[in-house]
Every structure is written in structure tokens, then in C-alpha cells.
Structure 1
Amino acid sequence: MNQDSKEKFKHIHIGKYLKTKVEEQQISQDRICNFLNVTDDEIRTMYRSESIDTYLLLRWSKLLGYDFFRLHSYHLLLYSPLPKKHIADTSLPIFRKNTYTKEIIDLILEMVNTGQKTKKQIINEYGIPKTTLLAWISKQIDKTP
């Protein structure tokens, strides 16, 4: 994953991603309309929309077998400010640790390898623990022939 890949997650136009996936999978408009219980016009409107209702996005994800929510998760990992160290009182679930996908790990390692960011910058800007980053680097070195 290169800098261009990172930029894909900066501004997410979900309609464009939906349309691309539909075209790749060659899903018929009739199947989409039946599955989502919407009209052709509503589908075209969704393709032009930067965002859509989460229930609809869940239905699209099921139909196309692709986690469209992950695009937003990547954005949060790459561009959101670090949370405060204390845990606020909340009735919502608290996630114990970040989930780093292979794509995110590859992007982070590429930034380190190309000198785009230092290890210290990665740790500070993305909140990745030093031991985690060093483990990724070590595994990368172990895979090198």
C-alpha cells in the first residue's frame, strides 16, 4: 500500500466504491433492487452519494461480500486524533485494542521503509505501541530472502 492508497482513505465517496464493486462483480441491477428493496433511481442516487444510511451500507456489504465499513475504520486509524488516555464513562462497548489489518500494517511499514515517517512519528501520530511496530518490522525482516 503506497501513499496513493493512503489518500483513498482520506476522502471516502461510498457511492463510487459501491458502483465499482458492482461493476467488478457484474451484479445485475434487478438483483440489487430486489435485495435492497429499492428502485433503479434510488440505486443511481446511492452511486452519486458520498454517504448512505448504515443499514443500507450493511445490506450492500452482505450483497457484495465486501466490508464497506472497513473503509471508514481505515480512515479513523489513519486520520483521527489519538484518544485521551483515560476512558470516559460510557455505556457503549470499549474496544481493548486496535485491529490492524494487513493493508494498514503494509502502509505503516512502507512509510517507515521509504523514510516518509520515522518510527517515533508512527508511534506518536497513529498511537501504535512501540513493541507492536518493532514486531512488524522484525517480521518483515524475517520474511526478506
Structure 2
Amino acid sequence: MNLKNLNIGSLIKDSVSKNEIDISRICNFLNCTEKEVLEMYSSPSLDTEILLRWSKLLEYDFFRLYSQHLILYAPQSSMEYIQKKKVDSSLPAFRKNLYTKEIVE
């Protein structure tokens, strides 16, 4: 799997075929047409609400792929910059280096 250039639609399509999920079940679960599902398969990105539904249907955390991409390919922030930039936020704070490259691999 190439985490550098994610194409979420093709990854979802692979997961659907691997799990042998019928298109009618997918359409019912996502409340969409077969044409829309096929468009999602060819899409390099999806809306988070749709991706959440796919994650539930396929019982796989597709968001983790993006998290791993950030861990591996986002530039490391210097501690000095982080300390200067401390701003209160309503969002939870995460440590970027929670997983090392070896753990992800």
C-alpha cells in the first residue's frame, strides 16, 4: 500500500471486493445509488461523513491511513516553534510522533 499517494476510492473498492459485499447492501447502507458508489470508487478523496460510513460498513478505520500518512510524510516541527505557538484550542491535542515509522510498517 502506498501511503504517500493515497487514493481512498480504490482502497475502498479493494476492501469491498475482498469482503465480497453486495452493491445493494452498500447502496442501502450509504443511502445512495449504484452510480454514486462507482463514482466513489474512482474518487481520490471522500467527504468525512461518507468515509466514516464506509469505515463502519467495512469495519476498517480508513482515517488511520491519513494519520499514518501524516506521521510518515509531514515535516517534523521543531520544539521551539511548538512552544511559541501554544494556542488554546477546542480541538484535542495529539502528539505527532505517537507511532514511529517502524511501528507503522
CA distance in 1, matches of 2:7, 2:95: 29
CA distance in 1, matches of 2:96, 2:44: 29
CA distance in 2, matches of 1:11, 1:104: 19
Gaps of 5+ in 2: none
Q: State yes or no: 1:105 paired with 2:94.
A: no
Give the C-alpha shift of residue 88 in structure 1. 2.6
Mapped contact 1:21–1:64 kept (Cα < 8 A): yes
CA change 1:53–1:38 in 2 (3 A) is same
C-alpha RMSD over aligned residues: 1.9
How many residues in Structure 1 have an aligned counterpart in Structure 2?
Answer: 100
Gaps of 5+ in 1: 108-145
CA change 1:82–1:96 in 2 (3 A) is closer
Alignment of 1:117-128 (within 5 A): none
Query: Alignment identity in percent?
Result: 51
| 2:20 partner letter | Q
Give the C-alpha shift of residue 104 in structure 1. 4.4
Give the C-alpha shift of residue 82 in structure 1. 1.5
Give the C-alpha shift of residue 106 in structure 1. 5.9
| 1:99 partner letter | L
Give the C-alpha shift of residue 91 in structure 1. 2.5
Q: State yes or no: 1:64 paired with 2:63.
A: no
Q: State yes or no: 1:85 paired with 2:56.
A: no
Structure-2 residue corresponding to 1:94: 93
**Bigger Rg over Cα:** 1
SS of the equivalent of 2:82 reads coil
TM-score (norm 2): 0.85
Structure-2 residue corresponding to 1:121: none
CA change 1:97–1:49 in 2 (3 A) is closer
SS of the equivalent of 1:66 reads coil
SS of the equivalent of 1:63 reads helix
* TM-superposition CA deviations, 1:80-115 (whole Å, max 9, x none): 0123332531232112574328x84163xxxxxxxx
Give the C-alpha shift of residue 54 in structure 1. 0.2
* TM-superposition CA deviations, 1:1-34 (whole Å, max 9, x none): xxxx5xx100000000000000000000000000
| 1:85 partner letter | I
TM-score (norm 1): 0.63
